[in-house]
Amino acid sequence: MHIIPIVDFGSQYTQLIAKRVRDLGYYSVVVQIDDTREYLDSPCVILSGGPSSVLDEDHPLLPQWLKKYEGKILGVCYGMQLMVKELGGRVVKGGRGEYGRVKVRVVADSPLLDGIPESFESWMSHRDVVKEIPSGFRVLAVSENNMIAAITDDERYWLVQFHPEVRHCSYGFEILENFMLKVCGIRPDWSLEDFVHRKIDEIREKLDGGKAICALSGGVDSSVASVLVHRAIGGNLINVFVDHGLLRKNEEIEVPRVFRDKLGMNLVVVDARKRFLERLKGVTDPEKKRKIIGEEFIRVFEEEARKHDVEYLVQGTIYSDVIESARSGKTTNKIKSHHNVGGLPEKMNLKLIEPIRELFKDEVRRVGEILGIPDFIVHRHPFPGPGLAVRIVGEVDEESLRILKEADRIFIDTLRELGWYDRTWQAFAVLLPVKSVGVKGDERSYGRVLVLRAVDSVEGMTADWSRLPHEILDEAARRILNSVPQIGRVVFDITSKPPGTIEWE
């Protein structure tokens, strides 16, 4: 099996490159610039983008092993600029830069752009520009602003300024496929079925007959992680469901019913509502919320582990959690601390097992299908580990939780009834710490503001707001306003990711 290394220079899209390569049927790994392992036998290497400038004195440099590498290289954005500088070209500060959707025009034939229209829509994110290409190179494409968008030496280097890994790049997948098949000449040799078999063997070998507990929330990620580990160690896995009071309405009843009664899995339910709400009292900063929740989770699991004489904790951490918490690499900027990654305490008595850490959300769902997990679990909308604490902007209290639980359930039920739940990737409600004047029963009212949020995505790293029909929004808003008296106004969020995140906190 070929291993395709993706050298990470800190781009939030680095893992997307790895995912796109896997989607094409090749096993990719993300490597840091200071990794000691060498990939000299790999047929190709991809250099990611990144937030740095090659004009800065302390900019990230190529890994030492890459200087001995003789295979083919695809450079993306910063990866392109770094190779241009290394090979004797010139990179300068751009006057305007290019961000978001930018038209690109193909100006020369090449296997990399074979079958790509003469003009296509790309995704750019750069200010520095390539002014002079290295000796022996030729220009393959330029942007609508006449900036160099792609170059090659026709032998080893294939460099692009745009981001083919982002789904907004209209022919990005085809360009990556061209690089693997037509430039590098390698055929697909990896699948998620391979991943499942390899991971089960890996977990079985690591635990070697030992026990583990699993942080089971009932969501897609933790469910897949639990079943995957269960396949490896069977009854030695104890699932722990923590009711922290921040769950969706009736979740504390529905999750145990599904996993204990329908799936027959070992399940321990811990009522921790009081301790979580006490810790969150007076806290409004979202990063503090996540860290408090992350630490409290671990303390609960440590207590349960001592009861069952267990030293391993299974978590449903996935790639997007790692990336946004800035734990994928030293050059990656933090977006927010996920409770199960950046929110973990520095000192903990449990050893982590994160079997799906390398996978994106859509890959996790596919693994769930391979494992035979029921469809109603595999295709549930994502739900954040910190729960409603990050959907209540500001302080979390019992009244706000009651309001949000009821409003969120009405919104989701409306989508289900009208056939739109499965047509959106994720939908939920957010409660704001502001009030708005209204009129109810011919009298002045002064109620809370509720935000409805629905997005379409594949892997969760980028997302577009869902174009819900107006009649759906109208029905949901009327039901909420009629049933939840504390809410006086309902609005709909039309922010995509980027520039926003999917969750509000």
Active site residues: 77, 163, 165
Round to whole Å and give the CA distance between 492 and 134. 50
DSSP state of 241: E
- Cβ burial of 273 (10 Å; 0-12, 13-18, 19+) is middle
Q: Give residue for tokens 């109603």.
A: 376
Helix (H) or strand (E) holding 123: strand 119-132
Query: How far are the Cα atoms of 10, 23, 47, 129, 347 from residue 76, in angstroms, in the given order?
Result: 12, 18, 6, 13, 38
Residues 6+ apart with CB under 8 A from 291: 337, 339, 342, 343
- Cβ burial of 397 (10 Å; 0-12, 13-18, 19+) is middle
Round to whole Å and give the CA distance between 212 and 188. 35
Residues 6+ apart with CB under 8 A from 246: 276, 293, 386, 387, 388, 389, 396, 401
Helices within 109-181 (DSSP H only): 172-178
Residues 318, 357 contacting (CB under 8 angstroms): yes
Residues 6+ apart with CB under 8 A from 250: 409
Round to whole Å and give the CA distance between 217 and 402. 20
Measured N-to-C along each axis, helices 220-233 and 192-207 cross at an angle, to the nearest 10 degrees, of 60
Of 455, 453, 436, 433, which is closest to residue 445 (Cα–Cα)?
436
Half-sphere exposure of 64 (CA within 13 A, CB side): 4
End-to-end Cα, the chain, rounded Å: 40
Ordered DSSP codes for 30-52? EEETT-----TT-SEEEE---S-
3-state secondary structure of 427: strand
DSSP lists the bridge partners of residue 148 as: 142
Helices within 335-433 (DSSP H only): 361-370, 375-378, 398-417
Residues 129, 147 contacting (CB under 8 angstroms): yes
DSSP lists the bridge partners of residue 76 as: 160
Round to whole Å and give the CA distance between 341 and 177. 32
Round to whole Å and give the CA distance between 320 and 309. 32
DSSP lists the bridge partners of residue 237 as: 212
